[in-house]
Amino acid sequence: MSAGWVAVLVGAAALAVFVVLALRLTRMLRELHAAVDDLRREAVPLLADMHRMVERATDDLDRVEDLLDTADGLRESAGRIGSTIETAATLSSSPLVRFVGMVARLRARGRGG
């Protein structure tokens, strides 16, 4: 066998290996393409669902914020009402108010009797 034939055989073997590798690579790329398509088909609806969930959560947080603002307003109102009641209790228990009340009752008895 001459050197030329050896070179042809080595070249043919290399070409065969290259063809086999190219076929495997082509098959792998097709499988990868199919996997990406499957992923896209599943991911797009999931992303849409996640978007809707985030919108709902945002709406819920807005409602909670409104409730907290309302509760804060109620707390402030309750504080003012409590202050008013304390002031009224203090005023109604002062000696001057008692004296004025007693004078008014005595006058009422004097007129009625």
DSSP class per residue in 2-68: -HHHHHHHHHHHHHHHHHHHHHHHHHHHHHHHHHHHHHHHHHHHHHHHHHHHHHHHHHHHHHHHHHH
Amino acid at 93: S
Q: What is the pTM of this model?
A: 0.47
What are the pLDDT digits (tens) for 67-103?
Answer: 999 999 989 988 888 888 888 777 777 777 778 888 8
If one counts the domains in the chain, the total is: 1
Where in the sequence is the domain holding 36, given as residue range(s)? Answer: 3-112
Taking only Cα atoms into account, the Rg of the chain, rounded to an integer number of angstroms, comes to 46
The pLDDT score that the predictor gives to residue 113 is 53
